Amino acid sequence: MLDVSTSLHAAALAWLAAHEAELIGWRRELHQHPEVANAEHRTTELILDVLTGLGLRPRRLSTGTGCFLDLNPGPGPVVALRADIDALPLPDHKQVPYASQHPGVCHACGHDAHTAILLGVASVLAGQPQLPGPVRLIFQPAEERMPGGAEVAVADGALVDVTRIFAVHCDPKLDVGHLGLRVGPITASFNQVELTVSGPGGHTARPHLTADVVFALGKLITELPGLLSRRIDPRAAVSLVWGAVNAGNAPNAIPTSGTLLGTVRMLDGQYWDQLAGIISELAEQVVAPTGVELKVAYDPGVPAVVNDGELVALQTRAVLAGFGPAALSDTPQSMGGEDFAWYLQTVPGALARLGVRPVGGQAGDLHRSDFDIDEHALSVGVRYTAALLDEVFAAG
């Protein structure tokens, strides 16, 4: 452990004592002016203004939104911290002074909080005469859209010389002041599948003279998820769920084509590269007796986020050192996708859940128009991240 009197956590406490209102102000400004994936221009300008005002030199990503920067650049392993900056195409239904001013767009996933927290961390670090090692801050666009902004950041060099990467994500199921940690898979892989079946069409009075695409779609809807669960180890937690089906518009005509759209999610990365082939093979087997033609379009979105055990140990020590054992919480695995996973294909990392629920109250669920946070969580996020850096540098 570092000397408490010189720790970054102590520096964060001192900074927050003078600047917590500024931290909340950043979050509210971002919340009032949300921008969807790859359109985060105003958001990026706010980030750049704050960072350059601290004397830092951020590098804008090649897509025009988002940036990354180094503090204490030099030789040695770099620890990276990532915040996502985009909002969702959802209306804001909250009756608060900082509600979204952009109809149909809302920070319903807490990325405004993630961004404000990392700006606070940048402020703490920029105020230190010397850091124990290099730190890279990544303000990443387009987390909510495939392909995600993480791939752009990696391609632009955000992971060069990085040996460890960390992030936090708001959790409305945890009270403010708590942090949820988990070793291993914490979010699932997210993939999309589109099945198209086609045939000559015909009269519903004579289905035996054609290929019934509606019947084939019905078989795929009911049989494919079950067959998939029998081909893959159930401990991999594969979930195939249909979200849309479309075929025909007349009750007495068998249409010539139909489509089926769904998502495939899985916690175990072992089968991620194999899913497309397995689904295509099983789908062909399901529709073979119907005589329809089948096309499978499989879009691998993001792999699972798998937290490194040694890094979760550092997270745990940071929570204990900064807040005490009462703040430490386990967190369940989520079947939601998170493109932080792309960084973990290159370097080990760990994602923590940040409690944002008011004690005794409600925060609304993620991706809902009433989602909000207890803004005390912002200072908790800054303190936790500073304490985490203390532990990372102490571990060497």
d(CA 66, CA 86): 9
Average pLDDT over residues 365-378: 96
φ and ψ of 336, to 5 deg? -75, 155
Token pair, residue 288, equals: 């073979």
Mean pLDDT of 346-362: 95
- Region of 106 (left: φ > 0; alpha: ψ -120 to 50; beta: rest) is beta
Distance of alpha carbon 178 from alpha carbon 380, whole angstroms: 9
CA 280 to CA 311: how far, in whole Å?
37
Cβ pair 36, 144 in contact under 8 A: yes
Across 11-20, 33-42, 345-354, 356-365, least confident range = 356-365
Residue 25 pLDDT > 90? yes
Q: What mean pLDDT value characterizes the chain?
A: 95
Q: Which candidate, 92, 85, 102, 104, places its Cα nearest to that of 142? A: 85
Radius of gyration of the chain (CA): 24
Each residue's pLDDT tens digit, 240-297: 999 999 999 999 999 999 999 999 999 987 788 899 999 999 999 999 999 999 999 9
Domains of the chain plus CATH, in order, are: 4-187+304-395 (3.40.630.10), 189-302 (3.30.70.360)
Q: pLDDT digit string (tens) for 75-102?
A: 779 999 999 999 999 999 999 999 999 9
Cα–Cα distance, 37 to 339 (Å, whole number): 13
CA-based nearest residue to 51, from 119, 115, 125: 119
Range 322-327 average pLDDT: 98
pLDDT mean over 173-189: 97
Handedness of CA 168, 169, 172, 174 (dihedral sign): negative
Q: Give the Cβ contact number of residue 52 at 10 Å.
A: 12
Place of tokens 């919340």: 31
pLDDT of residue 309: 98
Distances (CA, A) of 7 to 2, 74, 113, 384, 389: 6, 21, 24, 12, 9
DSSP 334: B
Alpha-helix runs per DSSP H in the chain:
8-32, 41-53, 111-126, 149-155, 213-231, 275-287, 309-323, 376-395
Q: Is the peptide bond before 147 cis (omega within 30 degrees of 0)?
A: yes
pLDDT at res. 179: 98
Dihedral, 278, 280, 282, 286 alpha carbons, nearest 10: 170
Q: Give the mean model confidence (pLDDT) for residues 236-242.
A: 94
Q: Are 203 and 354 in contact (CB under 8 A)?
A: no
Least confident of 104-113, 189-198, 359-368: 359-368
Q: Are 329 and 291 in contact (CB under 8 A)?
A: no
Please state, in angstroms and as integers, the Cα–Cα distance from residue 45 to each residue in 31, 197, 256, 394, following that order: 15, 47, 50, 34
Cα–Cα distance for residue pair 314/298, rounded to 1 Å: 37
- Prediction pTM value: 0.93
Cα separation of 141 and 35, whole Å? 10
| 8 A C-beta contact, residue 200 and residue 229 | no
Q: How far is CA 47 from the centre of its chain?
A: 20
> How many CB atoms lie under 10 A from the CB of residue 41?
12
pLDDT tier, 21 (very low <50, low <70, confident <90, very high otherwise): very high
Q: What is the pLDDT of residue 4?
A: 42
What are the pLDDT digits (tens) for 291-303?
999 999 999 889 9
Q: Where does the pLDDT of residue 5 fall: very low under 50, low under 70, confident under 90, or very high at 90 and above?
A: very low
CA distances from 143 to 35, 128, 261, 314 (A): 12, 31, 21, 25
Question: Is pLDDT above 80 for 147?
Answer: no
Pick from 196, 192, 81, 109: nearest CA to 146: 192
Q: Which helix (H) or strand (E) holds 166?
A: strand 162-175
Confidence label for 214 from pLDDT (cuts 50, 70 and 90): very high
| Predicted pLDDT at 3 | 44
